[in-house]
Structure 1
Amino acid sequence: MSRARSFASASAGALALLLASCSSEAPPAPPPPEVNIVTIRVQTVPNVIELPGRVQAYRTSEVRARVDGIVERRLFNEGSFVRAGASLFRIDPRQLTATSNAARAQLARAQATAANARQVVNRYQPLLADQAIGKQEYDAAVAQQRTAEADVAAAQANLESARLNLGYTTVTAPISGRARRAEVTEGALVSAGAGTLLTTIEQIDRVYVNFGQSSSDLLKIRHDIGSGKVTAPQLERVEVQLILEDGSAYPIVGRLDFLDLSIDEATGTAALRAEFPNPASALLPGQFVRARIFAGNRADGILIPQRAVKLAADAASVMVLDAKNNATPRPVKLGTMIAGQWAILDGLKPGDRVIVDGLQKVQPGQPVRIAQPKGSQSAPATKAAPAER
């Protein structure tokens, strides 16, 4: 009898649980995530073009042998600063000294011959007046005098050439700058005909940075300038900022000083060049940099906060809200970073609503709830900021 009562009690408990579960409601769906947005509008922004480039010395001089001979001494410290006219190498001068002495003796001989020819003409002049000699004999003496004077001029030129060659045995710096390593050592045979390279001097107190702009981008820039979308200053007033390999900015702003008017057939780019002061020699020839060219202002620019952009290996995207406040990813083409905001070149238009905060909670196609602004309404997040210099 007790067993029957236990079974009945257990059945009643199970039935009560079943009825309780059937009577309870399903849990409510979570609310849409709350996000902050910005509404896209066009505005005037700096027209910044970022291009890779290489540093080039302001002036480069390859010091080469101008005479044949054996290098006796190196007269400078490799890697040191040398001034124009400083002695760099000494080439054995003995052979050229002998050549110079021979040229000097040849000049003395020619001068003696010319002096004798003048004396003959001076003696013949009164004899010709007295008709003591014939006109033909006098003319021959005058011709010999002129020949002797021409020989003197040739001997003088030979002597000057010999002196120049003798002076070339001391190799001097043609410009002031930093001397690189010596390409020859003492005892090396150098040749003027082969133009033996001795060393290279680079002037780097000022430097050039060379970079190239693709023909398609250049065509687009010209079209934008022609249509009034971009206002560009004169070439020599275009400022350029350098970003070094470690991501830091070079502290001195340079200026564009050259734009090639032809396109390189091999690379499809037009050459550009900027000039930078380099007082501390922080920029070295051959160094890789990125150049930010501040080419005027763009009237139809779009800026969005950096945190609104998702970056992938080869693409960038933002989350845009449709009319029903559903989040939709959209790819965008980025320009350069301006004061913590990305310049958008393509992918957004005025009126688009872009999610700025709360992206980590949002899934594509999911509805969201737009957060109400706290306190007084602040200025739009897309307000143009001054370009970083």
Structure 2
Amino acid sequence: MIDVALRDVPVVYEYVGQTESSQQVEIRARVNGFLEKRVYQEGTLVHQGDVLFVMDRKPFQAALDAAQAEYAQQKARLDTAQANLNRVRPLAAKNALSQKDLDDSIGQQQAAAAALEQARANVTSASLNLGYTTITSPVTGLSSFAKKQDGSYIDATNSLLTYVAKLDPMWINFSLSENEILDLRTQTSNGSLKLPPVGKLEAVVVLADGSTYPQRGHIAFTDASLSSDTGTYLIRAEMPNPNGALRPGQFVRIKLLGAERASAVAVPQDAVQQGPRGAYVWTVDKDGKAQQRSVETGQWNGNDWVIQSGLHAGDRVIVSNTLRLMPGASVKANLVAAAPASGAADPGAAQTGVGASGAASTSASSASASTSTSAEASTGASQRNGNANATTSPQVEGNRTALYFATGSASLDAQSATALADVARRLASAPGARVVISGYTDSSGSYAANERLAHARANTVRSALIVAGVPDARIDMRKPARVVASDPPDKSRRVDVTFPASAGG
């Protein structure tokens, strides 16, 4: 059993999102004419300035030549008018010519100068149009297919040629309903939930195959208004994508990290049972008798379940061997090694049950214990020895720690939790070290179900290390390996935590 204590626990919010290019540019023709050639290869990565299309240049080159000739003609007229004005001005000053002759000369010179400026503008316009026949990419990104083929006539009605989507960074769009937003505001205002500033919320992406994208992002945008079409608020995360692993349009799961449930009650998932009236747990009263108590469950936090109501600080909760319990049955507690408290911030605190807030429960209140009724005390050991679901003790061999789960279960036992506490302390003493988590899938039964279970077990180990204070950046996840006929039968229940030799572990 455990003594319930209040502590801050991390909260992970998970939503379904869709990737979107942070800059998707329409590549359009700026002039009318015939498309001469597509230069780029469709679907490839193009860089800023790369030539994508070339239009027929000959009509635009001819227009530029005509504009340049007009400019030269206007330049000659201006030179003539200027020379004439230079002759008339001194003669008019000596009254050899009338003031009208001087005014006419000045007017002709100014008209010629204006005509020259017009001709210069025509040359600039013709030069721009000629340059527009070479169509380049304005950004570095992934190109789409060509919407127009070589030889097509392009005008204002069909000027769209293709798209280029910028891949780094990538946007992840997801939505929150109005009720979810109001609930978050209520919890934040009453102090039950601690939320960092929006830009400080970390975003982790889980891909369709269950693997975690290695880069982490942050929330970059929240829409100020509610969508009248969907009744939701649009939220956008910005995710680094230097290698282009994420592509626009993918459906992913996005997890937001950084929030904390303040002064929460959390118990191991195995302690929570389901009955006709909903969830309940077994507690021990002051007389050592088992009592059933209804609870309202909240979110999962690693291997723990946050209890929203029904339990209070100081209550004693039975965490295992609950199948034969009855209200009023005498309970005998068998203390075992303490498991790391969910949300632990300090790896060294895993032994004493430090919560996310750092408040240590150094007394026996944080110790886990298995319980048995007096009716099963004499037979429990023999039953466990013959139980196919019994787990094997963790095995430490050099840089590898092998953890074993019960058949069909993804929950850690106390011995495995203690072994992970040792791993966390080892990582804390070696700042440059990393660990690799890898599981195994049974070769019998449904491969998809076995693979999901292996992923769940590996994620349980990862979550336990994170709540023990190990940064997620120091944990590498590997795809589960297949178990073959020559492997030991227990290998399908195993998850390995390995210090790579190159990491200095």
TM-score by length of 1: 0.78
Change (3 A) 1:63 1:354: farther
Secondary structure of the 2:334 match is coil
Please tell me the residue identity of whatever aligns with 1:288.
F
Q: Distance between the aligned counterparts of 1:62 and 1:246, measured in 2?
A: 31
Alignment of 1:252-291 (within 5 A): 252-291=215-254
- Considering Cα pairs closer than 8 Å and 6+ residues apart, tell me whether 1 or 2 has the greater RCO: 1
- Per-residue CA deviation, residues 92-117 of structure 1 (Å, 9 max, x unaligned), is 11111121112111111211221111
Change (3 A) 1:380 1:92: closer
Match in the other structure for 2:84: 120
Which among 42, 46, 51 is matched to residue 82 of structure 1?
A: 46
Instruction: Report the more deviating stretch, 214-223 or 124-133.
Output: 214-223
- Per-residue CA deviation, residues 254-311 of structure 1 (Å, 9 max, x unaligned), is 1222223333233333322222112232211111112111243221333333344569
**Equivalent pair of 2:294/2:310 in contact (CA under 8 Å):** no
Secondary structure of the 1:374 match is strand
Q: Distance between the aligned counterparts of 1:329 and 1:160, measured in 2?
A: 81
Match in the other structure for 2:303: 340
State the 1:64 CA deviation: 0.9
Q: Distance between the aligned counterparts of 1:380 and 1:95, measured in 2?
A: 77
Give ranges in structure 2 of 5+ residues lacking alignment: 343-352, 356-463, 473-505
Which among 311, 320, 330 is matched to residue 281 of structure 2?
A: 320
Q: Distance between the aligned counterparts of 1:288 and 1:112, measured in 2?
A: 67
**Equivalent pair of 1:38/1:381 in contact (CA under 8 Å):** no
Percent identity of the aligned residues? 33
State the 1:375 CA deviation: 3.7
Q: Distance between the aligned counterparts of 1:380 and 1:76, measured in 2?
A: 56
Change (3 A) 1:283 1:355: farther
Alignment of 1:308-387 (within 5 A): 308=271, 317-321=278-282, 325=290, 327=292, 332=297, 334-335=298-299, 337-344=300-307, 346=308, 348-350=310-312, 356-358=319-321, 367=327, 369=329, 371-375=331-335, 378=338, 384=355, 386-387=466-467
Match in the other structure for 1:186: 150
Change (3 A) 1:144 1:342: farther
- Per-residue CA deviation, residues 170-215 of structure 1 (Å, 9 max, x unaligned), is 1111111221222221112222x23522111112132111122223
Which among 168, 186, 189 is matched to residue 205 of structure 1?
A: 168
Please tell me the residue identity of whatever aligns with 2:269.
Q
Which among 154, 174, 189 is matched to residue 118 of structure 2?
A: 154
**Equivalent pair of 1:63/1:199 in contact (CA under 8 Å):** yes
Change (3 A) 1:359 1:189: farther
Q: Distance between the aligned counterparts of 2:102 and 2:40, measured in 1?
A: 62
**Equivalent pair of 2:200/2:258 in contact (CA under 8 Å):** no
Secondary structure of the 1:152 match is helix
Secondary structure of the 2:125 match is helix
Q: 2:66 aligned with 1:102, yes or no?
A: yes
Change (3 A) 1:241 1:281: same
- Per-residue CA deviation, residues 139-177 of structure 1 (Å, 9 max, x unaligned), is 222122112111111111111111111111111111112
Change (3 A) 1:48 1:118: same
Change (3 A) 1:146 1:380: closer
Secondary structure of the 1:166 match is helix
State the 1:371 CA deviation: 4.9
Please tell me the residue identity of whatever aligns with 2:209.
D
Q: Give the number of aligned pairs.
A: 344
Structure number with larger C-alpha Rg: 1
Q: Distance between the aligned counterparts of 1:369 and 1:199, measured in 2?
A: 74
Q: Distance between the aligned counterparts of 1:181 and 1:343, measured in 2?
A: 50
Match in the other structure for 2:405: none
Q: Distance between the aligned counterparts of 2:334 and 2:28, measured in 1?
A: 73
**Equivalent pair of 1:327/1:367 in contact (CA under 8 Å):** yes
Change (3 A) 1:205 1:121: same
Give ranges in structure 1 of 5+ residues lacking alignment: 1-36
Please tell me the residue identity of whatever aligns with 1:77.
Q
Match in the other structure for 2:185: 222
Match in the other structure for 1:139: 103
Q: Distance between the aligned counterparts of 1:39 and 1:178, measured in 2?
A: 56
Which among 229, 234, 256 is matched to residue 293 of structure 1?
A: 256
Secondary structure of the 2:60 match is helix
**Equivalent pair of 1:38/1:380 in contact (CA under 8 Å):** no
Change (3 A) 1:58 1:65: same
